[in-house]
């Protein structure tokens, strides 16, 4: 017996009574709806349960009224999480269904999906049809895949299926040994008689160049930092685009922060060298361009990248910034309202409010850089911090807002959190800090 389709109901708290009726009707029709007030037990972590329920559902119903459209906070976060999952599905799949419970506007992020008016006479019939068609399409796709797997490959008949004799095996082994000895001898001959390569001992100016822009505090004069080559190879030249952040020794001392977010190009070098898992959106052209910030990476992935950067140097280490370090770099000691100053966000300053449906190149929006020269600390992608949130013990702080965010999420006073193992978001990336060990 097939399990009933699982349906996540997203709604604003004032609409609970209306959504309760929809929950009941779906249950009676043989579906398995999920609703936080009914399916989260006292004492359970509600954020974790909601994310798990969205991830495991066959359909995401965004129940809309005037209350939900104007609602900010976790309701919008549910929508974003569902959109991230939708991007991994086939174009023909039905997953997100906006359900209008009354006349209201559909949020901009959901306007690409046909809504259904459940309050209309044929609303319920159209909703059930969408759910049935959605399940049928998935079933047909699954059967097609299974058919391809089970289909036997056509082979030409073998002329001789006899196993080699022991004598033939010995002859093959002798031949392999002779070939190996000849190959090794040839390599040693060429190595002995090839001309020696002269290596210049002059250090590369490009590989040792560090941006020494300084964010100063009134109480401390910072000396010019010593130029240090990070690695003997040139693979990290891009990472050395750093800005020095000065702070009192009592607060931990100075550190450098990346002028730009870590890019796909930089992160994929780590993936290849370590045989590490690729970012979630590595095959999506909207998110995998070389100079875009890497997204679809968890907090653990970001930490692994920092550890990789630090592995071959005893004096220098890389890490994610703590929230306080990130704030100091973004808003300065004077605590600016926004990273660039006091002016309200605009299309010239930051990538926000979903203008293109994707992150911009890391060197975009120079007018929105901090006065010290750090780019995109407001908008583009949220950035992982090495700090736990104080509103839940399960989330890590993310800062700065993203290309999906509204303008207010880029302000100094605003912060958010995310599960450290979540690599499903296409609007969360990171930048690194560098410090002497």
* Tens-binned pLDDT, residue by residue, of the chain (437 aa): 578 999 999 998 889 999 999 999 999 999 999 999 899 999 888 877 888 898 889 999 999 998 876 555 556 778 877 877 776 677 788 999 999 999 998 887 788 899 999 999 999 999 999 999 999 888 776 555 444 434 333 333 333 333 444 545 556 666 676 677 676 666 665 444 444 333 333 333 333 333 434 443 333 333 333 333 333 233 344 444 788 876 766 566 788 999 999 999 999 999 999 999 999 999 999 999 999 999 999 999 999 999 998 886 667 788 999 999 999 999 887 778 999 999 999 999 999 999 999 999 999 999 999 998 999 999 999 999 999 988 777 899 999 999 999 988 888 888 899 999 999 999 999 999 987 55
User: Number of structural domains, the chain?
Assistant: 2
User: 63 and 22 in contact (C-beta within 8 Å)?
Assistant: yes
Residue 173: which H helix or E strand, with range?
helix 166-193
Residues 216 and 204: their CA atoms lie apart, in Å, by 29
Boundaries of domain holding 88: 6-148
- Same domain for 305 and 234? yes
Same domain, 213 and 136: no
Q: Is residue 183 part of a domain?
A: no
Structure tokens at 74: 């976790």
Residue with tokens 């010019």: 224
| Domain match, 137 and 28 both | yes
**84 and 221 part of one domain:** no
Residue with tokens 């992608």: 381
Question: Last residue of a domain, which of 125, 148, 171?
Answer: 148
In a domain, 38, yes or no: yes
Do 232 and 327 lie in a common domain?
A: yes
Straight-line distance from the first to the last Cα atom of the chain, in angstroms, rounded to the nearest whole number: 60
Residue 289 and residue 391 in one domain: yes
Give the CATH number for residue 59.
3.40.50.10140
Classified as helix, coil or strand, 3 is: coil
Whether residue 430 is contained in a domain is answered as: yes
Query: Does residue 286 lie in a domain region?
Result: yes
214 assigned to some structural domain: yes
Hey, how many other C-beta atoms are within 10 angstroms of the C-beta on 189?
10
Scan for tokens 């399409």, then name that residue. Answer: 137
* Domain membership flag for residue 323: yes
Is the same domain home to 225 and 89? Answer: no
Do 109 and 224 lie in one domain? The reply is: no
Query: What DSSP designation does 413 have?
Result: T
Listed residue (230, 312, 308) closest to 274, CA to CA: 308
Residue 300 lies in a domain: yes
Of residues 67, 74, 76, 70, the one with CA closest to residue 49: 74
What distance lies between CA 164 and its chain's CA centroid?
53
229 found inside a domain? yes
d(CA 232, CA 264): 22
């Amino acid at each position: 017996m097939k399990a009933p389709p699982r349906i996540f109901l997203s709604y604003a708290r004032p609409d609970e009574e209306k959504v309760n009726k929809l929950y009941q009707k779906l249950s009676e029709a043989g579906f398995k709806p999920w609703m936080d007030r009914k399916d989260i037990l006292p004492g359970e972590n509600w954020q974790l349960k909601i994310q798990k329920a969205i991830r495991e559902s066959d359909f995401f119903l965004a129940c809309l009224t005037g209350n939900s459209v104007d609602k900010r906070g976790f309701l919008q976060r549910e929508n974003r999480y569902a959109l991230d999952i939708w991007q991994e599905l086939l174009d023909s799949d039905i997953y997100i269904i906006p359900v209008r419970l009354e006349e209201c506007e559909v949020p901009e992020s959901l306007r690409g999906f046909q809504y259904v008016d459940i309050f209309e006479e044929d609303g319920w019939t159209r909703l059930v049809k969408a759910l049935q068609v959605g399940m049928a399409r998935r079933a047909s796709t699954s059967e097609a895949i299974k058919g391809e797997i089970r289909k036997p490959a056509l082979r030409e008949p073998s002329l001789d299926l006899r196993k080699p004799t022991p004598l033939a095996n010995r002859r093959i082994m002798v031949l392999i040994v002779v070939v190996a000895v000849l190959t090794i001898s040839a390599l040693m001959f060429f190595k002995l008689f090839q001309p020696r390569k002269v290596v210049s001992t002059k250090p590369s100016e490009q590989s040792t160049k560090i941006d020494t822009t300084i964010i100063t505090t009134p109480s401390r004069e910072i000396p010019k930092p010593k130029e240090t080559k990070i690695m003997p190879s040139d693979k990290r030249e891009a990472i050395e685009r750093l800005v020095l952040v000065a702070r009192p020794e009592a607060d931990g001392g100075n550190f450098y922060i990346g002028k730009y977010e870590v890019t796909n190009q930089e992160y994929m070098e780590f993936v290849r060298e370590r045989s590490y898992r690729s970012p979630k959106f590595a095959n999506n052209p909207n998110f995998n361009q070389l100079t875009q910030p890497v997204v679809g990476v968890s907090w653990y992935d970001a930490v692994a990248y920092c550890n990789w950067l630090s592995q071959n140097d005893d004096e220098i280490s890389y890490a994610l910034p703590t929230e306080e370090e990130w704030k100091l770099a973004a808003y300065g000691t004077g605590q600016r309202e926004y990273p660039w100053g006091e002016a309200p966000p605009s299309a010239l300053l930051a990538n926000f409010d979903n203008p293109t449906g994707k992150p911009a190149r890391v060197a975009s929006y120079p007018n929105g850089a901090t006065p010290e020269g750090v780019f995109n600390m407001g908008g583009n992608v949220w950035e992982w911090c090495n700090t736990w949130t104080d509103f839940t013990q399960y989330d890590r702080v993310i800062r700065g807002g993203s290309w999906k965010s509204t303008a207010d999420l880029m302000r100094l006073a605003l912060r958010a959190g995310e599960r450290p193992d979540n690599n499903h978001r296409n609007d969360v990336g990171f930048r690194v800090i560098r410090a002497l060990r």
